[in-house]
Structure formats: C-alpha cells, structure tokens
C-alpha cells in the first residue's frame, strides 16, 4: 500500500508505470499497421508527462504556439508536430513555419490563405492538411461533438473543392492530405466505422490523390472507462486500430495518422485531496474537499463522471455529495455517491484525472496551482526523476 501521508493536497498524482505501459501497448498496436500517433498535448502538457510520451517516439498534436514550444522543450521533434485549431493567430502561424513543423491542419479558406501568404513572406513552404467537417449526423453517438455541420470545426464539404484548388494553385502550400476529428470520449467503435465510410467516399469523390494527397489524419477522441478505471485501465487499442485497418480503403502507401490525448494519459492520473469539512444539508450530507473545479473542471463543464474513493476510512458506506471550496454552485465532483463513513482529514482520490485536469487548471479565487507527484517503478518520486 502506497503511503500518501506526507503529500500536500490537493495534488496531481501520476502513475508513470501505467503511463509507460499504456504508451507501449498503443504504439505496439499502431505499429502493426504502420500507423503514426501524435499525442494531443492539450490533454496534459505537464513536462514530465510530455517527456515520457516523447521518449516513446510519438509525434505531437498542438493547438497553440505555446503548446508547440512546450512540445519542442519536452523532446518532440518539430518534424512530428501537427498544428490544429480553428483560430491560429498570425504569430502562431509564423512560429510554426519558423520551426518547420510537420503539418498545419487548416480549418477554413481564410486561414488557408493566411498560412499561404505568411509562408510566402517568410520564404517557406507550408505543409497543409485540410480539416474536413464530415457532417456526421447526431444519430451515431451523443459524444460526437466536433464533426457535425453546426460545429465550428473544419471545412464543410461544399467548400472543400475550393480549398483543394487553392492549395493546388499556391506554390507556397504543399498539400499533404485530409484531417478529421469527430469528437471526444467516444467509447464505441461504431462512429469510427461511419467515419471510415465517409473518408473512403470523400477521398474518391474529390480525387484527393489527384491533388497530391498522401496522408490522412483521423483525429482522436477515443474514450476511456471513467466508471471502471481499476479493471479497465488501458483502452482497447487493438480493436481501435484494427477497425481502421479493416475499413479504410485508400490507395496503397497512404500514411495514416492519429491524434490521441485522453486514451493515452487519462487513466494514469488522479487528484489527491483531503476532506476539510463534512456537514449535513437538507436531506443530504456534504463532504467538502480541498480540491475544486479549479483543479478539475470536467464535472462542472460537462457533467463528467469521475470515480472517487476514500483511501483513509474503512467505515460503513454512506451517501454523500462531494464538493469543492470554490464559490460556484457548480463546484461539485459527485452527487449522492457511496463512500465509507468520511471524516475531516480523510484523503480522497478522484480517479481518471490524467487528461483535461491539470491542463485545464485555473486560478479562479486566486487559488494556488497544486503540485504534481509521480509514482515510478513502484514508489512515489516527488519530481518525477
């Protein structure tokens, strides 16, 4: 049993052994088909985590200039960086060009022109993939939130031809292929099957090979099991990648890239927090902990469910709402969950906090940034060394 007693809370806690194991499984499964994985660093830009991912030979997916700088600082080669996002600023585009990144994922005609003009001015050639909004209908899965027509992401099909022609006519743009991203926390493979069908059709109908396309980037968004993180800590990468191998029908030699964030790092992290107070409300009991929505905003932002355990108390189970100290009514981690009888000073762990927790940390209420603690080769190491 690990001894957490000396750790100042709240803290982000990372199991680097589990992270390394997850990374090894994902790359082994991707290697079977020659697929290339880019780590979506927005999921967690903690330098120890990013360094561990880059050590395993991954590329990286960045959505800001600062993420590009962090990626390079933590060992990712510039030649493995893809730069996505609907709102790249002029400075960020210049930075990316000056670092000779692998590829821009362009999301609008206007952005494409700015990238082209900037490349011309800097006497560079911009490698560009066009992010397509595949207008996948909502009947697939409710978590598909970025690939519908009403979402802000990507170029809609009626504008794709014009974007392809623009690339063809611009010597400062090297068209590489297409990029798709249909959403996040997708736990069923069905939406990806539909995506493959869509991709096959678009590739043919628009004659992407004729425009020089030789790469496809199928985004990320593969989900993790937030309800059973202990028994299901490594996502099913084998069935994930084999689905694409079975369903993509692209010309031989087309490179297939993925951008995975949550599925690589989500389960290796947890938040350690101590109970400040307990109190009874109208028909309920509250546990007030020293972590809040500032450390983990997912429950407040999209009603995300995270398992919470009490590692101090062996008591009989009772029902509690677990809430943070922040002055917002939405600062609630869980409602009506069973925990062993919980007392002031107990330590709780909020599980599955490796992705979109530390990277979304904020200092609302002027709260301090928590420290990070790492677990490696069977023991707790403070600085990750």
Ligand X SMILES: *Cc1c(COP(=O)(O)O)cnc(C)c1O
Chain positions contacting ligand X, by CB under 6 A:
40, 42-43, 61, 84, 181, 184, 219-222, 259-263, 355
Question: CA 164 to CA 366: how far, in whole Å?
Answer: 47
Question: CA 237 to CA 189: how far, in whole Å?
Answer: 11
Question: CA 351 to CA 371: how far, in whole Å?
Answer: 17
| Closest distance of CB 165 from ligand X, Å | 24
Residue 40 or 339: which CB sits closer to ligand X? 40
181: exposed, middle or buried (Cβ count in 10 Å: 0-12, 13-18, 19+): buried
DSSP H helices, the chain, are 16-31, 47-55, 65-73, 90-98, 109-121, 157-169, 190-205, 237-247, 262-265, 298-302
33: CB partners within 8 A, 6+ apart: 241, 242, 244, 245, 256
| Closest distance of CB 130 from ligand X, Å | 13
Question: CA 255 to CA 222: how far, in whole Å?
Answer: 20
Residue 209 or 359: which CB sits closer to ligand X? 359
Residue 148 or 262: which CB sits closer to ligand X? 262
| Closest distance of CB 167 from ligand X, Å | 19
Q: Which residue has the tokens 């409602």?
A: 335
| Closest distance of CB 181 from ligand X, Å | 4
* Contact yes or no for 306/269 (Cβ under 8 A): no
207: CB partners within 8 A, 6+ apart: none
Residue 43 or 199: which CB sits closer to ligand X? 43
| Closest distance of CB 62 from ligand X, Å | 10
Residue 42 or 148: which CB sits closer to ligand X? 42
| Closest distance of CB 179 from ligand X, Å | 7
Question: CA 187 to CA 141: how far, in whole Å?
Answer: 9
| Closest distance of CB 98 from ligand X, Å | 22
Residue 262 or 274: which CB sits closer to ligand X? 262
| Closest distance of CB 210 from ligand X, Å | 25
Give which of 22, 17, 23, 10 is closest to 350, Cα–Cα. Answer: 10
The neighbouring-strand residues paired with 269 are 14
Residue number of the CB closest to ligand X reads: 261
Residue 217 or 342: which CB sits closer to ligand X? 217
Residue 40 or 287: which CB sits closer to ligand X? 40
Residue 264 or 373: which CB sits closer to ligand X? 264
Angle (CA) 236 238 243, round 5° = 100
| Closest distance of CB 81 from ligand X, Å | 13
Q: Which helix (H) or strand (E) holds 126?
A: strand 126-133
Locate 57 and state its tokens: 């030979």
């Amino acid at each position: 049993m690990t001894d957490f007693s000396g750790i100042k809370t709240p803290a982000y806690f990372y199991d680097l052994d589990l992270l390394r194991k997850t990374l090894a499984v994902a790359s082994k499964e991707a290697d079977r088909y020659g697929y290339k994985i880019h780590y979506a660093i927005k999921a967690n830009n903690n330098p120890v985590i990013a360094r561990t991912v880059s050590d395993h030979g991954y590329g990286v997916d960045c959505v800001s200039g600062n993420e590009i700088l962090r990626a390079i600082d933590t060992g990712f080669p510039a030649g493995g960086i893809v730069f996505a996002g609907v709102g790249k600023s002029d400075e960020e585009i210049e930075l990316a060009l000056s670092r000779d990144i692998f590829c821009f994922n362009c999301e609008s005609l206007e952005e494409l022109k700015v990238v082209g003009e900037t490349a011309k001015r800097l006497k560079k050639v911009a490698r560009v993939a066009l992010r397509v909004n595949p207008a996948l209908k909502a009947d697939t899965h409710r978590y598909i939130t970025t690939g519908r027509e009403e979402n802000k992401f990507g170029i809609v099909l009626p504008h794709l031809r014009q974007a392809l022609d623009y690339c063809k006519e611009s010597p400062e743009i090297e068209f590489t292929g297409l990029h798709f991203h249909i959403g996040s926390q997708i736990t069923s493979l069905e939406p990806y099957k539909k995506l493959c069908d869509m991709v096959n059709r678009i590739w043919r109908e628009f004659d992407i090979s004729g425009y020089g396309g030789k790469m496809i980037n199928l985004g990320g968004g593969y989900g993790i099991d937030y309800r059973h993180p202990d028994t299901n800590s490594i996502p099913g990468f084998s069935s994930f990648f084999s689905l694409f191998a079975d369903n993509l029908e692209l010309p031989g030699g087309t490179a297939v890239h993925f951008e995975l964030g949550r599925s690589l790092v989500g389960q290796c992290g947890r938040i350690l927090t101590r109970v400040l107070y307990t109190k009874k409300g109208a028909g309920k009991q509250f546990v007030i902990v020293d972590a809040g929505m500032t450390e983990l905003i997912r429950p407040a932002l999209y009603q995300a469910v995270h398992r919470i355990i009490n590692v101090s108390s062996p008591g009989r189970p009772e029902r509690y709402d677990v809430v943070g100290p922040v002055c917002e009514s939405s600062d609630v981690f869980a409602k009506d969950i069973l925990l062993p009888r919980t007392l002031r000073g107990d330590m709780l762990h909020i599980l599955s906090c490796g992705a979109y927790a530390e990277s979304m940390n904020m200092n609302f209420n002027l709260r301090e940034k928590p420290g990070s603690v790492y677990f490696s080769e069977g023991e707790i190491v403070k600085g990750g060394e």
